[in-house]
Chain A
Amino acid sequence: MNKREFTITVYTENQVGLLNRIAIIFSRRKINIESLNTSPTEVESVHRFTIVIDETEDVVRKLCRQIEKQVEVLKAYYNTEDEIVWQELALYKVSTDAIAEKVKVERLLREYGARAVAIRKDYTVFETTGHRAETDNLIKALEPYGLIEFVRSARVAIIKASSGFHDRLKEFEQKEPGEEVMENEYLGKKEEVFTM
C-alpha cells in the first residue's frame, strides 16, 4: 500500500500536556507531521487537533487507535483529501514600492484572490486562503517582484460526512454509550485497509 496524504481529526479534552502525548505517538514511530492545528470546537470544552501526515492507510489507522487510547482523547478520525473540505491561510509581505509601480502585480493579486491586510509605506501584507498548491503558486508569482517574507498556517479541515460533535459528546457523557460511539467501524471494512 502506498503512502498518501491523510488528515487526522482528533477530538479531545482541553488538557495541559495532551499535545505532547499526541505528538510522541508520531515521533516514536519516526513519522513526520506535515501540519498541525489545534483549536476549540463548536462544543465548549472540546478541542480539535487537525494533523496532516503522509503515510499508508494501515499505519494511519493504527496511529488513530493509539491516539484514541489516550485517556483525554474522545475520538480520532482519519480522512483522505476527497473526504474533507480544507483550507490553509497564507501571508505574503511584499515591498509597497514594487506593487505601486507594477500594474502586473495588482492583476496578479486579484487573480489569486489575495487581500491586503496591512499597507505601510515600505511593505504591504497580503493574505490568501486556499489549498497548498494555490498558495504555493502565488509565492512563485510574487518572487520576481521581491517577496520579503512568507508564512503559511496549518491546515484546518471539516469532514464532509460529519454531523458535528454535539451529539457524539452527549453519548460520551453517558455511562453506557451506544454503539454509535464505540463502533467497530474498521472491522467491517478491514479487507480494504489492511496490509502486512
Chain B
Amino acid sequence: MDTLELFAAEKATTTPVATRELSGSAAVLEAFIAEGVHTIFGYPGGAIMPIYDALYDYHEKLNHILVRHEQGAIHAAQGFARASGKTGVVFATSGPGATNLVTGLADAMIDSTPVVCITGQVYAHLLGTDAFQETDVINITAPVTKWNYQITDANEIPAVLAKAFYIAGSGRPGPVLIDITKNAQLQKFDYAGYVPCTHIRSYRPKPIVRKEYIETAAEIINAAEKPFIIFGQGVLLGKAEKEFIQFLEKSGAPAAWTIMGMSAIPTDHPQATGMLGMHGNYGPNVLTNECDVLIAVGMRFDDRVTGRLDKYAKQAKIIHLDIDPSEIDKNVKTTVGIWGDCKETLPLLTSMLKQKVYPQWLQRFNDFKQQEEETCIIPEMNPDSDILSMAEVINALNECTGGNAIVVTDVGQHQMVTCRYAKYNTSKSNITSGGLGTMGFALPAAIGASFGDPNRDVVAVIGDGGFQMTIQELGTIMQSGANVKIIILNNQFLGMVRQWQQLFHDKRYSFVDIASPDFVMVAKGYSIEGRKVSERAELKVALQQMMKHPGSYLLEVMVGKEDNVFPMVPQGCSVSEIRLK
C-alpha cells in the first residue's frame, strides 16, 4: 500500500468532507498553515515557480525570507527550529537549488533538527531524461534525510505533507525532503482539507518504556558512590529540561553537558561541572574515568566526547537513556539501556531515586576546576599581551548579555572557546553545528534563530574563515530586517586547523593563512552598522554599543593570531589524558 492509499483508508473512516478545487501548490501552503508554520526560508527557481506563484496570494499568512543561497535557507531553518523548538521550513528549486541543500540536510540529520524541505522538480514526464535542472534529489538526499518522498500527483500532497511534518518533528527529529514535480504543483484536484498525521504503521517515534530497566537503573544509581550524569540534546529535543533538573537535583550527582546539550540547565547550576569532550572541561573528562556509575541522558557518545573508546569509562556501570534504540550499545556498551522519550523516562527514574548528596565527589570536580582555572582559564581571560584573546571577548559578552542571549556559533576555535565560556540562563540558547561541523553555519542559523524566537537577542560568534563561507547572507539580513548581532573573532588564520598543524604536523602551516576583506566595510555595503576593535579598552564599550544598537550589527574583534584552545584531548587518546597546555 503506498502512502496515498494508506491515508485514503484512514480518511475513509471519518465523515465525508466537502471538497473544493485547489492547485497542488496551494495545498502545500494550506498544509503549512495547518501545521502552524509562519516563516519559510527559500529561494525561487524554474521548477518551484507554481508554489511561489501561490505564495503571492498567501503572503499575509506566510512570511517568506528570501535568502542568498539555498544552503543559507536550510541553515536558517535549522536555527529557527533550534531556537523555537518547532519545525523549520525550506523552499528550493530543482537541480542546483536542491543540491545546495545537501550540506544543511546532513547537518540537520546528524544534529537531529526538525526541518521540512520542499524542492521543485521537473515535470513527471521528464524524469530521467536529463532535463534542464533535473537531478535525482531523492537518491542524493537518501542518506541525509530521516525520510524523503517524491510527489508526482497533487492528490498526494495533503497526506504526504502531513506525514512529513509528523516524521520531522516526532521521535528523534530530523530533516525530511519532499520533492514535488512541476505538474503536481500546477494540477487542480479535489481538496478535502488537511488531516494531521498521528500514526504510521511502520514508524515508531517512541519505544515503549519498560519499567523493569528503569528499576534496575534506579537500584544502580541508589547504590552508587560516585555517580556522574552526562547529557545531550535529547533533553532539549524532548522538552524535558524541568524533568531533567528534578532528576539531577534528587540524584545529587555532578553533571556535564555535550556541546549539543548545552543550555538545557543554567551554566551556573551548583551541580554543573561543564562541557565534555575534546575541548571540554578538565574535571568532567578526567572523572569520566573515575566515576562508578555513568548516567547518559539523550546523548550518543560521539567520538569527540568519548576519545579512545577502549579506555572510556571502563570502570563504570553505564546507564543510557535514549529515544533512538539504535544509539544504545552503538558506541559504548551499557549496563542498562533505557529506551524512551526522556520526558517520560526521567520522571519514572526520579521517582525511584533516593535524595542524595555527594560533597566529597563534587569536591573532586572542584579540585580539577581549580587546576583548569589556574593553568587555562585565568591566563586566557587576562592575557599578559596587548592582543585580545577569544576568551576575554566571550567573557565580556557574558557581562553584556547577562547570559540571556541566544548564542550561535560557527565551527572552529571560536566555537570551542564560546562553548567553554558562554553563560546561559535559559534553554535553547546555544545553537551550533555539533555533529557535522559545518563552517558557514552560524550566520544563516542566527538569522533563522532571530525569527524563531524574536523576543530574544541573537548573537552570532563566527571566525574569519567561516564567515566568508556564507557571507552573502548579509543580504538576507539587509532585506528581511533580521536582528542579528555578529561578532567576528578574527585571528587571520583558519585557527583550528592551524592549531592541529602546530601540535601534530610540526608547525607546517599548510594553507591556513586566510586573507579577509574589510568586514566592516562589507557590512556597510549591506547597510549594516559595524565596528572593528583591537584594543582591550574599547572592547566592553563596543559590545555594549552593539547590543544596544537597534537592528543588526557587525563587530569585528582582532584576536591573537596563534592562540590555541586548551584543554584538549588529542585524537586517539583517552579522555583522562586531556592536556591542559
Contacts and interface: CB of A to CB of B under 8 A. Distances in A.
Interface stretch (A82-90, A127-135, A157-165, A177-185): A177-185
B210 A71 contact: no
A100 interface: no
A141 to B, nearest CB: 43
A69 B330 CA distance: 13
A190 B329 contact: yes
Contacts of B310: 196
Interface of chain B: mostly helix, strand, loop or mixed: mixed
Given A13-B1, A187-B337, A66 B326 contact: yes
B210 A20 contact: no
A182 B143 contact: no
B8 interface: no
A50 interface: no
A172 B545 CA distance: 58
Contacts of A186: 329
B455 to A, nearest CB: 35
Contact of A172 (B142, B146, B202): B202
Given A24-B143, A184-B339, A62 B330 contact: yes
Contact of A73 (B2, B148, B202, B207): B202
A179 B202 contact: no
B156 to A, nearest CB: 12
Contacts of B337: 184, 187
B138 interface: yes
Nearest to B198: A175
B309 interface: yes
B108 to A, nearest CB: 16
A21 interface: yes
Contacts of B198: 175
B333 A74 contact: no
A114 B546 CA distance: 84
A146 B413 CA distance: 69
Contacts, number: 73
A179 B201 contact: no
Contacts of A169: 201
Contacts of A177: 204, 208
A71 B2 contact: no
B203 interface: yes
B142 A62 contact: no
A16 B149 CA distance: 9
Contacts of A194: 329, 333
A54 interface: no
B500 interface: no
Nearest to B199: A175
Contacts of A175: 198-199
B142 A20 contact: yes
**Which of B3, B139, B210, B329 lies at the interface centre, i.e. has the most chain A CB atoms within 10 A of its CB?**
B329
**Which of B3, B150, B208, B337 lies at the interface centre, i.e. has the most chain A CB atoms within 10 A of its CB?**
B208
A187 B203 CA distance: 21
A14 B2 CA distance: 7
B168 to A, nearest CB: 11
B147 A62 contact: no
Interface string B195-236: 000111111100110100100000000000000000000000
Contact of A28 (B143, B150, B203): B143
Given A15-B3, A179-B208, A182-B208, 17 more contacts: A17-B142, A17-B148, A20-B142, A62-B329, A65-B325, A68-B325, A71-B167, A172-B201, A173-B201, A175-B199, A182-B207, A184-B207, A184-B213, A184-B339, A187-B337, A190-B329, A196-B333
